[in-house]
Amino acid sequence: MDNTSDTAPGPARPHAMARTVLLYLGLVGIPALGVAAILRAGHSITPPISVGGRWAIETDAASAAAVPDLASAADGSAPTLVIVQSGVRLAMNLGESGLATSTARLDGNRLTAALAKGGTAQLALDGTVTKASGSPRLTGELRRLDCSSCPGVDFSAERVAGPHG
Amino acid sequence: MHTTLNLILQVAVIISVARLVGLVFRMFHQPQVIGEMAAGILLGPSFLGWLAPDWQAVLFPPDRLGYLHSLSQLGVLLFMFLVGLELEPKHLVGRGRTALVTSAASIVVPFVLGSLLALALFHSFAPAGARLLSFTLFMGAAMSVTAFPVLARILSERGLTRTKMGSLAIACAAVADVAAWCILAAVVTLARAEGDPSHFGAIVGGTAFYLVCMLTIVRRLARRIEVFYRNRGRVITQDLLAFVLLLFLTSAWITEWLGIHALFGAFLLGAVLPKDPGFVRALRDKLEDLTVVFLLPLFFADAGLRTHLGLLSGAGTWLAFALIMIVAVGGKLGGTALGARRMGLSWRESTAIGVLMNTRGLMELVILTIGLELGILSPALFAMMILMALTTTVMTTPVLERVYPAELIRREVVGGPEVDGYSILIPVSLPSAGPDLVHLAATLARGSSGGQIYALHLARASEQSFFDASVTPAGRASLAPLEPLLRAATNDAVEVQPLAFVSREPGADITAVAHAKGARLILMGWHKPVLSQSILGGTVNQVMREARCDVAVYVRRRFEPVRRVLVPYRGVHDRGALDLARRMAKGAAAPSAAGQQSFAWTSPHVTILHFVMPGDRPVRERERAGLRSAATAFESEGIELKVIETASPLDEAVAEARRGYDLVVVGVSEDWGLEPNLFSSRHERFAAECPASLLIVRRYERGEATTESIERSGTREVHERGSKVAPTRVA
């Protein structure tokens, strides 16, 4: 009787076992090396800094007068800027003013944005995020886009709540 | 609004919307769970918040979402416990090199491509402070996952569980799921350790100790649970249920405390519990409905409330989404298909397995939620990945239909014609109707040689459990409705081949199976429908319209043995009835396989009532001449032929049927008010007035002259086989 079937005992088994082990090593080991290579290639890539959360904008009477949206955003207290961050992409809302992001971008620690109401861009924000000690601060300039002759107003804001509340 | 009132309102709205959207998705042949996932997004800021922000603020105020979140977490924990419970170790091993290579390819290719994608997305879409290692591994794991329960459901609904491709897909999905969860556990550990080696070491050490405990102490305990379950008459008592739930909560608590997620504890406990099918089914029955109907929609809503599709704006974002889709589909579908093809499967089968493995569904949602909570995913990336999960799951059914059409599946599941003879297919929806139908079929088939009787039960897709893949050998559970029929067949020494699978369109599947098996007659039972009075409506109507063979519907009215059979004959539409009655007479005369006739259809006396319209003298004279020879032929078969000249054959037929007949065999024709016309006022008058049981027959014309009369029919052998076929218009 022919004994060379699939169930044949003896020397066939170690070969099959070795093939399976090699196959497994190939299927797991090579991809693992691939992932290691990917991680090595990306070791210099850094994630963006954190700007998500709620920022309290510190204003004075002069700046509030120059940028009416700041006054309307204040609602009796310091106007707040809420930022939802997804990497370098930002979604922003300025307090109760109804101004929301038209375009916004985070480049390193520089934050630039145009805030719009009803589809019309009204306010430009250009700031820099710094973190010395304590909460991060955003300092820069707010400028009305609907008034080319109006001067920009310097502002400073402190993050009062992080992205998770 | 008070917190409790708010929570009750939230739950009520979520469940209502989930069921409603799920129903809509089911209408489009999509699994209900996909609709429920979409419902979650609809209730979130992406739709309700955009459409009616005030309503959303009242219904889901941000400071009142805590209870909803807790309930949703309990739901997803129970779900993962059930997934673990349904995990069959035999799915993971023993399927050979094909399963090993295919499942490895289905994990490795999307994992590596996902890792590469992570590199491209890290700078622009990773959340602030994310670590490349966690982000890369997470994206790899998220791309590798397959929604085992959804895949099982799709396989079950399409009747694929009994195909080679289906069982391979189940094996691959089980392996992929376990692998993806292991990778995710590593990612969670890395993310929570936050680069602190001692913290990382503590988590790994604790997890290893926990695993050892689960595989030794808890597994031994699980065996005792199994013994306890068997000793208590195979019933899960409330005490036993409470004990299992306590184990579940303890396991989930420990893994959460250790720093890997609570979900792993829930899943692992389910996996180590006994796999006795009765125990698994009983425990599943106790927990599944509450979990799937009540708690999981809360999880979908909780995820939906955190999904901001509005963040997907700008060309860069949509380009990133397109990349995600390409990697997700290309990696999972392509990787699996290549692996399967490498192992010798056909391109069609390989692609179909790839399509199935590309189903991500709920499991992806669970993984993504963990990623968002751990700060590995940013809100925009979370929204993109949710969209990807929904898209890949929704595309599964239609793409699979194109790659592996239902006709092919049926051919593989049902097989081709096995015999060349008078074969009969008996679709059984009501188990109690089975014995009568098999008796009748045996009588009809007895006069011929070489035929086969097939009993078919089609379980509706909605009857299936969420987790039930019916992967038990030959789908035994689904044969249960055929048992009364099979018992009757065994008693009568009649050979019957049972067939059973899950069907979304029973009418189409019945006709397809009849065609595949070369059946000459589909014999259906009838029971009063819930919503309609019509005998020839619904599935029966569809089968009558579409079947490429004769169809007979048996309406049982009398429970006495059938001794007298009446065939009212008016014209060509009744020829099918006449043929069957002649078969009945012939079959009753022939001995059974057991050498004796043990059932009710012993030796029925058949009477043909032939109606001739008065007034049309030339036609009548010609018919009379032919009838004389037909009568002689019928007489030799033991059939009585009565000729009645009347203008109202329906009244005469009803009057004759009242004279002690047990069964009336009648054709589907306007003469008897039986044409299945939905809006006819005369609809089914004969059926309503006839006191005897009815066998309503629609004959399938095989390209013969439809004007053939009873005179010719009397001397002709029925059912020439092999001629070209063309459907007869029924209505």
Radius of gyration (C-alpha) of chain A in whole angstroms: 29
Average confidence score pLDDT of chain B: 80
Q: Which of B404, B423, B450 is the last residue of a domain?
A: B404
β-pairing verdict for B424-427 and B550-555:
unpaired
Same domain, residue pair B368 and B451: no
Q: How many helices (H) and strands (E) does chain A have?
A: 3, 8
Residues 6+ apart with CB under 8 A from B201: none
Q: Which helix (H) or strand (E) holds B646?
A: none
**Residue B349 counted as domain residue:** yes
Say whether residue A42 is in contact with chain B using an 8 A CB cutoff.
Answer: yes
The CA distance from B727 to B702, in Å, is: 8
The verdict on a CB contact (< 8 Å) between B128 and A34 is no
**Residue B35 counted as domain residue:** no
Residue B664: CB atoms within 10 Å: 29
Same domain, residue pair B597 and B656: yes
Which chain A residue has the Cα nearest residue B310? Answer: A91
Same domain, residue pair B624 and B493: no
The CA distance from B579 to B106, in Å, is: 56
Q: B250: domain CATH number?
A: 1.20.1530.20
Q: Point out the residue among B116, B118, B378 whose CB comes nearest to the CB of A86.
A: B378
Same domain, residue pair B381 and B288: yes
Same domain, residue pair B307 and B440: no
Same domain, residue pair B195 and B171: yes
The verdict on a CB contact (< 8 Å) between B379 and A43 is no
B416-441 core/surface letters (b: 16 or more CB in 10 A; e: else): eeeeeebbbbbbbbeeebbbbbbbbb
Superfamily of domain A53-161: Calycin beta-barrel core domain (2.40.128.20)
pLDDT tens digits, B212-248: 999 999 999 999 999 999 888 888 899 999 999 999 9
Domains in chain B, number: 3
Same domain, residue pair B131 and B150: yes
> pLDDT (tens digit, 0 to 9) for every residue of chain A, 165 residues total?
344 444 444 445 667 777 767 877 787 788 888 889 988 888 888 888 888 888 888 877 776 677 777 766 656 667 888 888 888 888 888 877 777 887 888 888 899 988 888 778 788 889 999 877 778 889 988 888 878 777 788 888 888 887 765
DSSP state letter for B703: S
Say whether residue A28 is in contact with chain B using an 8 A CB cutoff.
Answer: yes
Say whether residue B124 is in contact with chain A using an 8 A CB cutoff.
Answer: yes
Which chain A residue has the Cα nearest residue B117? Answer: A38
The verdict on a CB contact (< 8 Å) between A48 and B137 is no
Which chain B residue has the Cα nearest residue A27? Answer: B104
**Residue B4 counted as domain residue:** no
Q: Which helix (H) or strand (E) holds B426?
A: strand B424-427
**Residue B211 counted as domain residue:** yes
Backbone angles phi, psi at B525, to 5 degrees: -90, 170
Structure tokens at B451: 């035929």
A52-70 core/surface letters (b: 16 or more CB in 10 A; e: else): bbbbbbebeeebbebbebb
Comparing CA positions, the residue from B165, B160, B155 lying closest to residue B413 is B160
Structure tokens at A127: 């700031």
Q: Point out the residue among A38, A47, A89 whose CB comes nearest to the CB of B380.
A: A89
pLDDT tens digits, B380-438: 999 999 999 999 989 988 898 888 887 777 666 666 555 567 889 999 888 888 888 88
Best residue in B69, B108, B338, B387 for a mutation probing chain A (most A CBs within 10 Å) = B108
Can you say how many angstroms the Cα of residue B474 is from the centroid of all Cα atoms in its chain? Answer: 15
The CA distance from B467 to B149, in Å, is: 5
The CA distance from B359 to B151, in Å, is: 6
Can you say how many angstroms the Cα of residue A59 is from the centroid of all Cα atoms in its chain? Answer: 26
Q: Say how many CB pairs under 8 Å bridge A and B.
A: 106
The domain of B573 spans: 556-718+725-731
| Chain B residues whose beta carbon lies within 8 Å of the beta carbon of residue A113 | none
β-pairing verdict for B663-667 and B564-569:
parallel
| Chain B residues whose beta carbon lies within 8 Å of the beta carbon of residue A48 | 123-124, 126, 128
DSSP strands (E only) in B622-701: 639-645, 663-667, 693-698
Say whether residue B136 is in contact with chain A using an 8 A CB cutoff.
Answer: yes
Question: B293 and B223 in contact (C-beta within 8 Å)?
Answer: no
DSSP, residue by residue, B482-532: GHHHHHHHHHTT--EEEEEEEES-HHHHHHHHHHHTT-SEEEEE----SS-
Q: Is the model's pLDDT at B508 over the cut of 80?
A: yes
Q: B648: domain CATH number?
A: 3.40.50.620
| Chain A residues whose beta carbon lies within 8 Å of the beta carbon of residue B318 | none
DSSP, residue by residue, B82-115: HHHHH--HHHHSSSHHHHHHHHHHHHHHHHHHHH
Same domain, residue pair B351 and B431: no
| Chain B residues whose beta carbon lies within 8 Å of the beta carbon of residue A52 | 127-128
Say whether residue B64 is in contact with chain A using an 8 A CB cutoff.
Answer: no
Q: How far is A58 from chain B (nearest CA, A)?
A: 24
Only one residue has tokens 């060379």, namely A4
pLDDT tens digits, B657-695: 888 888 888 887 656 656 555 434 445 667 777 888 888
- Give the lowest-confidence range in A14-28, B565-579, B620-634, B689-703: B620-634
pLDDT tens digits, B435-467: 888 888 888 887 676 678 898 888 765 545 555
